[in-house]
Chains A and B, each alone.
Chain A
Amino acid sequence: MIDPKHIGYRTTPTVLAVDSWRVKLFCKAIGENDPVYWDIDTAQSAGLPACPVPPTYLKAIEGDHCTSADLLQVLGIPVKGVLHAEQSFTYFSQVYVGDVVEISREIVDIYEKKSGAYNFVVVDSHFKVKDKVAATNKQVILIRNKVAA
């Protein structure tokens, strides 16, 4: 069992700029061919102020702030035997290339199933642009204790 004292653990927020090259690399990696994400003229022709980031891109810059592997280290859990069980995103405003994003993460729940064979850790992330929450996400991490041992 993971000590529930870690519920409420929060990272110190850090700020990151959304770089064009990274968004382009991410698009290449996910098979995204729409130049709206890296060509400013295409974005502006589409009525956008700048190139938007793809919906799940926030997970990539979240890792620059603090990866889930980093969080597992705080909990004293080896990454072996760990699986990603659930992920959600809620979007309040679009994030664009050039934005400066403030990111923080918080462990909001820890629980077990199957008589302790499986542990679950729930982590919320907040993404702020100009002091307003642009998006949030929630990750559920599954730790298979037999595999981790």
Chain B
Amino acid sequence: MKSQADFPATLTQTYGPVSAIDLALYAAASGDHNALHLDEQVASEVGFEKPVVHGMLNMAFVARMLSSHFGVRAITHLHTRFTGIALRGQTLQFQAKLEQVIDQVAYYQLSVTNETGASVIEGLAHIKRLT
């Protein structure tokens, strides 16, 4: 069906390993300076063996995968649940899977997993056709 042609069944991307510099840069650019993302001591005090990747950095990677393919203005809605944790040093897998197309809007199911296979993000994106 022609109307489906602009909307691929799946998009995938790999990113990583997420480095200390990646996390420091994101802290500076985003203004989120929570030490949980930067300091091993602080991370271990709250039960994580390494600093935790900002949820918003993972969401930014998901958004980048979508905007690279569809154009930034095509994204009308993004929703992510931070279902698990990605730790510094891990390599992450990103996927968007087409669920349906209704009235020229594609609904993509989003997922991010870390290298242990555990879910980090589950979500949904609405992509409109740019005219």
Contact = CB atoms under 8 A, between A and B. Distances in A.
A86 interface: yes
A28 B45 CA distance: 30
A132 interface: no
A53 B73 CA distance: 10
B79 A86 contact: yes
Nearest to A69: B34
Given A25-B28, A52-B72, A55-B72, A31 B77 contact: no
Most buried by B among A36, A60, A87: A87
B67 interface: yes
Given A80-B46, A84-B82, A86-B79, A56 B25 contact: no
Contacts of B76: 90-91
How extensive is the interface on chain B, given as a class?
Answer: 20 to 34
A13 interface: no
B82 A83 contact: yes
Interface string A59-95: 1100110010100000000011101111111110010
A9 interface: no
A86 B81 contact: yes
B109 to A, nearest CB: 14
Contacts, number: 97
Q: Main secondary structure on chain B at its contact with chain A? A: helix
B113 interface: no
Given A30-B57, A30-B60, A55-B67, A60 B30 contact: yes
B82 A86 contact: yes
Q: Main secondary structure on chain A at its contact with chain B? A: mixed
A87 B64 contact: no
Interface in A45-63: 52-56, 59-60, 63
Contacts of A90: 76-77
Contact of B30 (A59, A79, A86): A59
Contacts of B57: 29-30
B87 to A, nearest CB: 14
Nearest to B24: A29
Interface in A18-33: 22, 25-26, 28-32
A82 to B, nearest CB: 8
9 contacts: A26-B30, A52-B73, A55-B63, A55-B72, A55-B78, A56-B63, A67-B31, A83-B55, A91-B75
Interface of A: 22, 25-26, 28-32, 34, 36, 52-56, 59-60, 63-64, 67, 69, 79-81, 83-91, 94, 147
* CB-CB nearest 4 A-B residue pairs: A63-B31, A88-B79, A29-B29, A55-B63
